Each structure stands twice: as C-alpha cells, then as structure tokens.
C-alpha cells in the first residue's frame, strides 16, 4: 500500500494534468483562466445537492470518455464526495467495473448472487431470487470497515427502481465537527474492533488520506468492541456496558443530533452514484426491503474499490487525548484522597 504522502502527490499531479488537458492553451494550464470560463469548458454540468455532493448532467457513462474527462470526474468526486449521474439507462456490469477501475483495483464483496452480471458486482434486491437482501440495513457505516484498509470508493447503479427505498448519506467531516467538545474528546480516544471478520483495531476518528480532513471508520452493526487510548500507557478495552453505551451514542448522532446533515437520495431509474467511501457514511432505508408486490422490484449493482490506506490517527491528536485523560484520572484520584 502507498504511503498517504506519496499518494497525495500523485493525485495532485493527476488533477493538475486534467486541468491542462480539458482546455487547450496556456491560460488554463497556468491557472489564470476565469472560473466561469473553466466551468464552461467542462463537458458536463454540475448542480449542487443539498449540503454536499452534486448531480452531473451531460455525461453518458455507457460511452467511453476522454482521459481528461475521467480525470476531471475523479477530481469532482474528491471535492464533492458524492456524484449522482442521472438518466444513465442500464449500465452493464462490465461497464460499471470499467468505471470503478478509474479509482483503482476492485475488491469484490464476499456476498455473491447467481444473477450478478460480473464477479466484482454485488447485486442487491428486495427479492432473494433477484439479489442479496437486507443489505445496508445493519446500521450506519462505511463499506469495508472490517478490511485492513476500508474500500476507497463505492459505486451504485439502480438497475430496477422501486417506488420507495432511499439511501441516506452522511458527511463525516461535518459530523465530527458538530460533536460537542467533550464528546469529540471521547471519540478521539476510541479505536473500533470489528466483529468476527476483525483484522485489527482502527481509530474511530482519523485523517482522510487524500484530503487531510477528519473522518470516521465505523460500522454500527459490525462493531464488536472498542479500545480506549490504544498504543498509550492508558490503553484498555472498553467494557461491554461501555461499548453498548457508545454504540447507542453514535446512533443518536446520526439519527438525531446530525440529522440535518443527512442527504437522502431518492432513486430514479437510471441513477448511477460514485461516492468517496472514506468521507461518507451511509445506510439503506427500511423501505428498501419492502416486497416487490408493494413497491416494485429493486435491483442495485454495487462495486467497491480496494482501499490503499490503513486508517491512521494524527499522532499529536492521540497523544493529546491520552494526556488529557491521564490528567483527568489523576485529578479524580486526588479528589478521592489517593495521591497516586
């Protein structure tokens, strides 16, 4: 896996090259072209979504796209975190895999369905004969949190669109920023442990490897426990009671405290979504599992891109959180008459 600094340098080079290729002439390459002219030169139009993300118009994903356009779309994903391509019709499984590979090699899900159009396409449905059911209903999460490196991107294509069944997305940077100081300090000390597929503890809050912004590694339905202050003298496993309390607290953050930050995507036929999986949490609405007789057949094809970075916490943040806890612990002991 690449070091975050090296990968960021590569990304900066790619994005700079994309800007130069999209418009001929030295003005764009030097960065002196007016913003309005830059936008006019793009082969697509972006319409902002509420809070974060954007709808993309003017692109047919079924067609091969110029290298410069692909590079520009990759930049938009990094900037906006969620791109919604409307009216794409039916994108084949092979083509979805090709698009996914813009972002890196794929990592197939461990779930398989015989009707999947490609080994790397995860086919989900509200009908077990048509796809895997119950997907996305285990709580707010990022995909692949149990992997050594969580999936970098997730791509979703609605192949058969029901009348109900939203997918909700949460901007993790804003969620972390909205935490009250005491709660933020608590979360900074936590490392999550996945369920039976556990492959090592990961910091709950960590630094997005490409943007440097705060984000979360979590899956509320697959967290088996927590560790406090991992890698410090204060390290200890959270008790089962603490773990239950923390999971309930996290659930409240997404369903209540930060509900105003959530974007609920109402699927339309032909929708195709590219998301920065490291920057967004998501959850499928209960209506995604309503029977076809009630809402129509739901079939979605999902692909996931292999992660390149193991979540790393900023060393200074971890040290400060552990030191604050140690100081707090000493103060409590002194109040209780223990000089230690």
SS3 of 121-166: the string is CEEEECCCCCCECCCCCCCCECCCCCCCCCCCEEEEEEEECCCCCC
- Enumerate domains of the chain plus CATH numbers: 1-41 (no CATH), 49-89+159-298+310-340 (3.60.130.10)
The alpha carbon torsion through 61, 63, 66, 70 (nearest 10 deg) reads: 20
The answer to whether residues 54 and 76 touch, using CB atoms and an 8 Å cutoff, is: yes
Burial of 176 from C-beta contacts in 10 A (0-12 / 13-18 / 19+): buried
- Per-residue pLDDT in tens (0 to 9) along the chain, 340 residues: 545 555 455 454 454 444 444 444 333 333 443 444 455 578 899 999 989 999 999 999 999 999 999 999 999 999 999 999 999 999 999 999 999 999 999 997 667 899 999 999 999 999 999 999 999 888 999 999 988 899 999 999 999 999 999 999 999 999 999 999 999 999 999 999 987 555 589 999 999 999 999 999 999 998 989 999 999 999 999 999 999 999 999 999 999 999 999 999 999 999 999 999 999 999 999 999 999 999 999 999 999 999 999 999 986 565 555 555 555 555 554 555 565 4
Provide, for the chain, the percentages of residues in helix, strand and coil under a 3-state DSSP scheme, each rounded to the nearest 5: 35, 20, 45
What pTM did the predictor assign?
0.84
Strand order of the β-sheet with 122-125 is 45-48, 54-57, 82-85, 272-276, 153-160, 299-305, 122-125
Alpha carbon of residue 96 to chain centroid: 18
């Amino acid at each position: 896996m690449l070091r975050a600094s090296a990968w960021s340098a590569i990304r900066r080079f790619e994005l700079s090259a994309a800007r130069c290729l999209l418009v001929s002439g030295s003005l764009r390459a030097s960065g002196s072209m007016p913003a309005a002219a830059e936008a006019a030169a793009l082969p697509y139009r972006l319409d902002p979504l509420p809070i974060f993300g954007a709808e993309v118009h003017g692109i047919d994903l079924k067609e091969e796209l110029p290298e410069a356009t692909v590079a520009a779309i990759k930049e938009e994903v990094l900037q906006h975190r969620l791109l919604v391509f409307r009216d794409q019709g039916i994108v084949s499984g092979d083509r979805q895999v090709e698009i996914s590979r813009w972002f890196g090699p794929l990592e197939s899900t461990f779930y398989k369905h015989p009707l999947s159009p490609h080994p790397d396409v995860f086919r989900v449905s509200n009908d077990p004969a048509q796809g895997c059911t119950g997907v996305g209903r285990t709580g707010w999460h990022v995909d692949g949190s149990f992997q050594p490196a969580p999936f970098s991107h997730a791509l979703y294509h609605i192949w058969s669109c029901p009348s109900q069944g939203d997918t909700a997305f949460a901007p993790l940077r804003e969620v972390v920023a909205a935490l009250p100081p005491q709660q933020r300090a608590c979360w900074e000390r936590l490392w999550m442990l996945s369920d039976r597929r556990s492959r090592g503890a990961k910091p709950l809050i960590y630094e997005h490897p490409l943007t440097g912004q705060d984000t979360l590694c979590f899956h509320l339905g697959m967290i088996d426990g927590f560790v406090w202050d991992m890698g410090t003298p204060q390290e200890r496993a959270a008790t089962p009671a603490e773990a239950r309390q923390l999971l309930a607290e996290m659930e409240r953050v997404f369903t209540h405290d930060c509900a105003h930050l959530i974007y609920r995507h109402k699927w339309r036929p032909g929708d195709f979504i590219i998301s920065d999986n490291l920057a967004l949490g998501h959850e499928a609405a209960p209506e995604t599992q309503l029977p076809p007789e009630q809402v129509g057949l739901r079939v979605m094809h999902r692909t996931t891109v292999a992660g390149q970075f193991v979540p790393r916490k900023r060393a200074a943040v971890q040290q400060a959180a552990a030191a604050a806890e140690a100081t707090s612990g000493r103060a409590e002991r002194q109040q209780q008459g223990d000089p230690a």
